[in-house]
């Protein structure tokens, strides 16, 4: 753990404390040893009591030649200094007061005293306090001679790292059968700024490996308690432009936990990145809990929660991936949660992806299991990205014991150059499903797609949407699309669908005033029941017409309804029975007409793995053309097997050497 008024580092393995904490510094020089006054060694200070600042060097430079014993002492360039041991609140009081004096608002916000050091697994801890700290190598850490197994390094003024190309990394590894009986805590927490000229990697690895000579799979390791990756600072800053495939290439910023490849974790997997002010990473940012069945090596097991929690005022980055992988047999005992909470703005120079994968496949591999809820929450004042995707994929046998939900809260503009997609697949494999929008002015250059394949509720609350194409649909027999306020405008196509007529049927419910505009084609509203609540007005824009397809038109007779409510349409509207609506993905016509022309089905292929899957089910026709059976894929079945998606776990399970030399040596 690297923590404190500046810094801290927690190592939880009593047998192999081989956690790299590496950040090459361009500013610090090694301290000059202080001559001994006499040849007689000074007495060893008491291990207990409040820590004082080690004054032998400022900054203290920790190199690969540094030896730290948790008894506790630290030796660099022949100079030995001593730390203190914090035993817990009963013996020493609150950690923040013991280490720093008054408790800061930052310590309170992080719950340092009430949560982190309230956990008995985190104490006792050996602590060394410096005025400032420069990490310039991988120290040797010795827990022998009765030393404790938790280590804290405090830099009151913060951390310095990185010459040009320097890479800051802190990781714990139990790969290939390693074992930690208790918790594995990898914490970098700084009250000042954390700045790195290279990338930043904070990770815990508990994965399986494919050994090379001989070629043998070695199952993942075991962590008996919780695995925590925590990165906190006033500002988290890197100048790195590193980018590429998440999980395969080095990222500018990564905080991750890997239990894929049959890894086992008894408690929670928490990846937390929090800045009091801003996060900036010009290259790619990648946050993940990877627990899937990569390359058939077996899904991982997480006994408690899987959490990704990222927070700041503003967050500026290149491509952003924020993912939980639990597909093809992964097991998460409790909740799977992705949370991005910004009080300011999110700027993404590339794609912004928020995904929970919990699916099975058509080859008979079972889906993942999440014992309780699966949740994606994105909150920001404004968002800018090339494309935006929030997705829970629970299809083909995935099971979620509680709810599956996506929540997007934006108070300002959401500007997306290409497509913005918000979808839940396999919603019937959860006890409930919901996609909720609260506010926001969405300006999308391509398609705004909202989609729930089965039962669930999709809510647009005071959201203004402008896009080339707008399609929002809930397709289960108990599907509801609820629209309350705002404006929805499309240049090419506007479809609002809840078309199931089985069971209680799909419902579109207008609960407050809204305006609909569709420039090129008639807007289509299709549901078994369309309700405009009493006193609510749905305005169809002056240059727009709307075709309403419904069996139960709960609105004013003046608009073609059954007069069960006083709600009304204003504008050019035609009401017809459900069943005549165009397909959800197809353009509609300006007026309501029945087409006698039959359209051939269209198959969209986005990568070679999908094409291969389709061709496996293809047969040559009499004219020599290849014919693909339309029953090989259900109407709402999602696409699986994208190599782009699955590459996100590649080197963690198979090729650790793809990382830097230091990292590779630690992961073998």
Longest dimension (CA), the chain: 104
Residue 125 has pLDDT above 60, yes or no: yes
Beta bridge partners of 403: 432
Nearest-angstrom CA–CA distance, 329 and 369: 7
- Its sign, for the CA torsion 239, 22, 107, 56, is negative
> What is the C-alpha separation between 271 and 232, in angstroms, rounded?
11
Of 136, 230, 140, nearest to 189 (Cα)?
230
Residue 352 neighbours by CB under 8 Å, 6+ apart: 319, 320, 346, 383, 385, 386, 387, 388, 389
Give the tens place of pLDDT for each residue, 289-316: 999 887 788 888 999 999 999 999 999 9
* pLDDT, greater one: 224 or 664: 224
The DSSP call for residue 296 is G
Find the range with the poorest average confidence among 76-85, 143-152, 371-380, 487-496: 143-152
- Please report, for residues 33, 49, 462, the alpha-carbon distance to residue 37 in angstroms, rounded to integers and kept in the order given: 12, 26, 74
CA 342-348-352 angle, to 5 degrees, is 85
Task: Look at residue 62 in the predicted model and tell me its pLDDT.
Answer: 81
The Cα 33–Cα 31 span in angstroms is 6
DSSP string, 619-657: EE-TTS-EEE-GGGS-TTPPP---HHHHGGGHHHHS-GG
Q: How far, in Å, CA of 393 to CA of 326, rounded? A: 10
CB 474 within 8 A of CB 452: yes
Q: Which helix (H) or strand (E) is 86 found in, with range?
A: strand 84-86
In the structure, what pLDDT confidence band is assigned to residue 663 with cuts at 50, 70 and 90? Answer: very low
pLDDT at residue 168, as a whole number: 74
The model's confidence at residue 524, banded by pLDDT at 50, 70 and 90, is: very high
* Residue 244 pLDDT: 78
- Of 142, 279, 126, which is closest to residue 202 (Cα–Cα)? 279
pLDDT: is 292 or 191 the higher one? Answer: 292
Enter the pTM of the model: 0.75
How would residue 601 be classed by pLDDT, with cut points 50, 70 and 90?
very low
Per-residue model confidence as pLDDT tens digits over 54-98: 877 777 788 778 888 888 889 988 888 899 999 998 999 988 888
Does the structure show a pLDDT above 80 at 206?
no
Nearest to 251 by CA among 323, 200, 205, 195: 200
**Residue 487 · residue 461 · CB < 8 Å:** no
What helix, strand, coil percent values describe the chain, rounded to 5? Answer: 10, 45, 45
Region 475-492 average pLDDT:
96
In 3D space, the residue among 185, 211, 182, 209 whose CA is nearest the CA of residue 15 turns out to be 182
**With 80 as the cut, is the pLDDT of residue 379 above it?**
yes
Asked if residue 48 has pLDDT above 80, the reply is yes
The answer to whether residue 636 scores a pLDDT higher than 70 is no
- In sequence order, what DSSP letters do the residues of 419-445 get, joined into one string? -EEEEEESGGGEEEEEEEEES-EEEEE
Percent of the chain at pLDDT > 70 equals: 74
Amino acid 660: pLDDT: 30
pLDDT at 38: 53
Mean pLDDT of the chain: 79
Q: Per residue, what are the HEC states of 402-417?
A: EEEEEEEEECCEEEEC
């Amino acid at each position: 753990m690297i923590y404190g008024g500046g810094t801290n580092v927690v190592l939880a393995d009593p047998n192999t404390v081989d956690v790299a904490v590496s950040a090459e510094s361009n500013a610090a020089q090694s301290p000059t040893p202080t001559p001994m006054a006499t040849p007689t060694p000074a007495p060893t200070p008491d291990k207990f009591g409040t820590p004082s600042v080690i004054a032998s060097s400022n900054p203290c430079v920790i190199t690969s030649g540094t030896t730290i014993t948790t008894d506790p002492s630290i030796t660099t360039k022949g100079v030995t200094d001593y730390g203190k041991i914090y035993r817990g609140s009963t013996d020493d009081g609150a950690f923040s007061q013991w280490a720093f004096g008054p408790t800061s608002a930052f310590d309170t916000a992080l719950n340092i005293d009430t949560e982190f050091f309230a956990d008995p697994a985190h104490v006792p801890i050996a602590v060394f306090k410096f005025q400032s700290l420069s990490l310039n190598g991988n120290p040797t850490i010795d827990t022998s001679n009765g030393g404790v197994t938790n280590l804290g390094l405090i830099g009151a003024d913060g951390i310095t790292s990185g010459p040009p190309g320097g890479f800051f990394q802190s990781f714990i590894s139990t790969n290939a059968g390693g074992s930690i009986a208790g918790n594995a805590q990898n914490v970098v927490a700084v009250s000042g700024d954390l700045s790195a000229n290279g990338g930043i990697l904070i990770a815990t690895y508990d994965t399986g490996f494919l050994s090379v000579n001989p070629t043998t799979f070695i199952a993942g390791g075991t962590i008996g308690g919780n695995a925590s990756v925590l990165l906190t600072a006033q500002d988290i800053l890197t100048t790195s432009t590193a980018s590429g495939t998440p999980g395969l290439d080095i990222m500018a910023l990564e905080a991750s936990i890997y239990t894929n490849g049959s890894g086992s974790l008894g408690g929670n997997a928490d990846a937390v990145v929090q800045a009091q002010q801003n996060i900036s990473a010009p290259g790619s940012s990648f946050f993940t809990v990877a627990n899937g069945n990569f390359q058939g090596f077996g899904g991982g097991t997480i006994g408690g929660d899987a959490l990704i929690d990222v927070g700041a005022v503003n967050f500026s980055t290149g491509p952003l991936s924020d993912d939980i992988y639990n597909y093809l047999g992964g097991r998460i005992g409790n909740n799977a949660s992705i949370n991005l909470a910004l009080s300011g703005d999110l700027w993404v120079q590339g794609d912004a992806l928020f995904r929970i994968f919990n699916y099975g496949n058509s080859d008979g591999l079972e889906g993942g299991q999440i014992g309780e809820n699966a949740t994606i929450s994105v909150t920001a004042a404004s968002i800018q990205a090339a494309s935006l995707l929030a997705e829970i994929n629970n299809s083909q046998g995935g099971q979620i014991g509680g709810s599956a939900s996506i929540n997007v809260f934006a108070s300002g503009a959401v500007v997306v150059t290409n497509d913005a997609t918000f979808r839940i697949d396999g919603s019937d494999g959860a006890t409930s499903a919901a996609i909720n929008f609260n506010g926001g002015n969405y300006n999308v250059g391509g398609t705004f797609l909202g989609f729930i394949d089965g039962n669930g509720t999709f809510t647009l609350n005071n959201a203004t949407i402008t896009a080339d194409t707008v399609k929002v649909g809930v397709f289960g027999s108990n599907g509801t699309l609820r629209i309350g306020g705002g404006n929805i405008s499309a240049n090419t196509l506007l479809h609002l669908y809840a078309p199931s007529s089985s069971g209680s049927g799909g419902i579109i419910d207008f609960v407050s005033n809204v305006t609909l505009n569709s420039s090129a084609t008639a807007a289509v509203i299709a549901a078994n029941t369309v309700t405009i609540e009493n006193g609510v007005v749905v305005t169809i824009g002056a240059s727009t017409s709307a075709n309403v397809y419904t069996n139960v038109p709960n609105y004013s007779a003046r608009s073609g309804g059954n007069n069960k409510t006083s709600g009304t349409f204003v504008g050019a509207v035609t009401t017809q029975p459900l069943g005549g609506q165009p397909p959800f993905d197809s353009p509609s016509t300006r007026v309501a007409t029945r087409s006698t022309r039959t359209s051939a089905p269209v198959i969209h292929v986005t990568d070679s793995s999908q094409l291969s899957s389709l061709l496996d089910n293809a047969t040559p026709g009499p004219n020599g053309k290849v014919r693909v059976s339309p029953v090989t894929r259900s109407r709402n079945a999602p696409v699986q097997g994208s190599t782009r998606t699955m590459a996100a776990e590649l080197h963690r399970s198979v090729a650790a050497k793809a990382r830097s030399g230091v990292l590779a040596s630690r992961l073998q």
